[in-house]
Structure 1
Amino acid sequence: MRPMGRILIIDDDPSFLQLYRARLGAEGYLVETADEIEKALARLDQGGWDVVLVDQKLDGKTGPDTGLDLVSEVSRRAPLAKTILVTGYATEAAVTRAFQDGAYDYLEKGPIFRVLLLAKLRNALEAVRAHHFGELSSDEAEAAIRDTWVAAESETDPNRKGKLLEDLMVLVFKTIPGFRHASARRRNEEEEIDLVIRNESTDPFWVNERTSYILAECKNWTRPAGATEIRSFLWKLSRKFNRSRLGLFIAPGGFSAPLRSDLHGERRDDYLVLLINKADLRELVHAPDRNAFLKKLHERAVLELHGENR
């Protein structure tokens, strides 16, 4: 399976291209750019794009709407990608035409452009991912899990590594009956959650867990996660109207002694956090029954929190 998160930016403004590379690269996305029509068409024909951002004007601020003219061509050459029209000159006619030609959304170059960019991009990618992962057969999903795990282990860019870990967990939950991926990288003004999983399991074990949503946080590969990070995660769990009592805290780099001490000291009857290190993650990837392995992690967390297996 090819990596998810391939973004093509079509824009003639060097400052915006630099902003895109920095902002989206920091989020772990694979970003390529084109600053003129011919380059854009060549890039589109490479295939494999998830989202294409097209600036409305590709010949300067006073030039024609060549980017708007390109939207239909993007839809034709990259039919599985979501197209976002980027414009500093939004009009009802321009936006209407973009949607008619196949655009998924539009984004204005304004004061909150940086914030909206990530929000709009995440929405588009969620739609692509839901469609792509939803079409995978059981065998294809297993192959995708193994491929994503190998890619995550070998990736050297830390941002990309984190993104692959999130994709891996979405795929893993796809194979556990009753667990439905709700959203990834969910953000508001106060917090960010890597993964939200909806618990619709009919397995009595998970029904008795009495949690509507499972939160998952994906952390460091290169160093142990610390106390501050687990406190932040516990705070997020506590703010979900008592609908989320179970969390997965995934840190391939391991866990510091202060983190374990804090987690033990902050234990409460209504929240449980499963700590998943790299060895656990590897076993989860290769487990013949991931539901059973997740129950094993659950049991370990309960016993550790009660001091019976430390």
Structure 2
Amino acid sequence: MIFESHPDLDVVERRYSTGDEEIDLIVKNNLSKPFWLGLSSPMFFVECKNWQKAVGAKELRDFELKIQNHRPLVRLGFFVAPGGFSRECITELHRTSRDEYAIVLLDMKAVKQFVEGRLSVPDWLEEKICQPV
């Protein structure tokens, strides 16, 4: 798993349920590079949708709400969807970019880029965070 392959990223919970929401992965961010410290996100969430179809705006809003519910410890989320993301989802992501948190979309192309590339997990994630949608 991508988020478990670096010693400074610690998956502390899998499929964590609060009763009314489920968080696929909760990752403790122990990275000490200035970039990561500047994000002010000691933890981040990972949402995984292993669907063949594209993820829609509703699913993005649901994930966004999970992040909002757990501030100030969580200001960063990664949404992994091999089936990609709908146009409406991308439009919704542009709206969220005005807020105090960031959501990064990772489709199959992005995951393959990591697997076939030479970047470390933090460097690859940093590249994805900085990449315009």
TM-score normalised by structure 2 residue count: 0.91
**Deviation, structure 1 residue 209:** 1.1
Name the amino acid aligned to 2:39: E
- Aligned mates of 2:71, 2:123 — CA distance in 1: 28
Name the amino acid aligned to 1:247: G
Residue 122 (structure 2) aligns with: 291
Q: Report 1:203-222 matches (<5 A).
A: 203-222=33-52
Residue 273 (structure 1) aligns with: 103
Partner-residue secondary structure (3-state), 1:228 = helix
Q: Report 1:80-229 matches (<5 A).
A: 168=1, 172-229=2-59
Gap regions ≥5 residues in structure 2? none
Deviations 1:44-81 (A, max 9, x none): xxxxxxxxxxxxxxxxxxxxxxxxxxxxxxxxxxxxxx
Gap regions ≥5 residues in structure 1? 1-167, 305-310
Higher helix share: 1
Partner-residue secondary structure (3-state), 1:245 = strand
Partner-residue secondary structure (3-state), 2:50 = coil
Partner-residue secondary structure (3-state), 2:35 = helix
Larger CA Rg, structure 1 vs 2: 1
Name the amino acid aligned to 1:259: C
Q: Structure 1 residues 241, 272: closer, same or farther in 2, change over 3 A?
A: closer
Deviations 1:277-297 (A, max 9, x none): 001111222332222111110
Aligned-residue RMSD, C-alpha: 1.4
TM-score normalised by structure 1 residue count: 0.41
- Aligned mates of 2:99, 2:71 — CA distance in 1: 15
Name the amino acid aligned to 2:107: N
Residue 242 (structure 1) aligns with: 72
Residue 253 (structure 1) aligns with: 83
* Residues 96, 102 of structure 2: 8 Å contact kept: no
State percent identity of aligned pairs.
Answer: 31
- Aligned mates of 2:4, 2:81 — CA distance in 1: 20
Which fold has the larger relative contact order, with Cα–Cα distance below 8 Å and residues 6 or more apart in sequence? Answer: 2
Name the amino acid aligned to 2:13: S
Partner-residue secondary structure (3-state), 1:262 = helix
- Aligned mates of 1:273, 1:290 — CA distance in 2: 17
Name the amino acid aligned to 1:188: T
* Aligned pairs, number: 132
- Aligned mates of 2:22, 2:98 — CA distance in 1: 22
Deviations 1:243-289 (A, max 9, x none): 10000000100000111111112333311011000011112223322
